[in-house]
Structure 1
């Protein structure tokens, strides 16, 4: 077992140190976490089988009772977070996202209790729950792994001096910079000063349908007016409409400005968005790591969940393949009993 643990740790370190901006790193870290959790469960005294190979009654209670208890706690937490978001950020559908997921958790809990504790003998019900549990378990494995890896990535220090600092846009209110975007710009200026005011800041963001000016224009005005930076130290990329374009169009500006010289950069976004943005930077072939700005705590769970859904969409065919494999596997089992 120790050898397997060492192999997993070594594999993760190799992947992480050679390239941090890969989704496979997330999966390996998740598998490492599952392995450690398995070892804890196996060696925890309450769950050790007796001489007949049977787990103790207390162990069975813990195993059967932990799942609905966790689901119930998570459901309540998600409903509460959505309530706070609706009060502070307005009645928008995206602010109900966690409440919807919490409802799914609650349904899974009720289904589990109905199947396990009511001794339902119909095999079809058990197989269908097993199918739902596999899909749910796979999704939660990815969610937990992404959350853990994004945290590791966020707190990994930048070990080089950047030539450019890319500040990613996040939307305006008319022509004003809202607090969420202001936190990114404040962090970009903080990084600029950290490196002796030598880097050039690139503000990146186009103009939305409900915005009076481009995000880049408002962002530059904020930096120049509020932080008193020289106008020539802030370049504008004002055509992009999403993170992928932020990175791709900013690279064009950096290539032109560098005039053939080698350069490195970093990008600034909110902490919940750093890892996904880093993958877009990799795809745009930008040699850049990310720095996260602070975000209101109540906003992070919902925002991170949207980021997770965005990551699923980026690798959708991989996940679709896994879901189809699970469906085929359960279908074979179901066929054997029907």
Structure 2
């Protein structure tokens, strides 16, 4: 008889330990003029991966600083070459057209590298996306969306998330993604309502009395020349725009996890609360500013812990049986791969 067990993801890292890693990374990156930042990224990813577990089995990250540094050097060299050659008009046009295809290539390269360098319970992930599919969902669809004044953006967001999820695999077990467009419209609408509502509220509080008295504009008005014309846009960004982004992220994350599954009937759940995520983001930002950046490790650990405890996987059968079966399949097929440079394009889920 089939059994279904649900496991909560656990993050066991602590701010004190990560602060030690972070401060060393920062100092060495400064004294090496940024060169050590490649190794710093590996140390950070490895720490967060190794402290994330499911039913006692942990994740891991296997890239090296050298691999990531090589990738960065290639990108920087390509940008310098482009800047030099683009000074020639005809060559510049040709290069600009050629660079249209670079975006999807880099996205695929990054996804393949990071999947291959990430493991769970000793078994690595993989990514099998194609260039033409990436070109379609990350370039063609957004361009076409312009003609709808971005009202069709939820369709684009769903296509991009489907591409990201469905082309991943754990060992040989392929991920799947099935979702209507409704949850993506819900995310956009709720985020927009927050942003518009806060803008209206800020306008009413700061400019309402002047509007009512008819003194907002004119030579005798103090409003146009006051510091409010500087303060209000900042408030709009901090209270309206940034929280709206986190609200959108929360709804999208929940929708993507609900729609994702792994071959064999294994499913995911995300229970992130939009306003809770906004609260954590705002207090994290305040902590970083008031501590002049020294609280940054604490904020990273705090956010990781919150996201982990609101993430669940439901296994069809047992986790031991699932992982063991995949280990046997991978061993039978062979697990050879070549080390290649790493280029990171992060996806926030």
The normalised TM-score by structure 1 is 0.25
**Which protein is richer in strand relative to its size?**
2
Q: Which has the higher contact order (CA 8 A, sep 6+)?
A: 2
The normalised TM-score by structure 2 is 0.25
**Which protein is richer in helix relative to its size?**
1
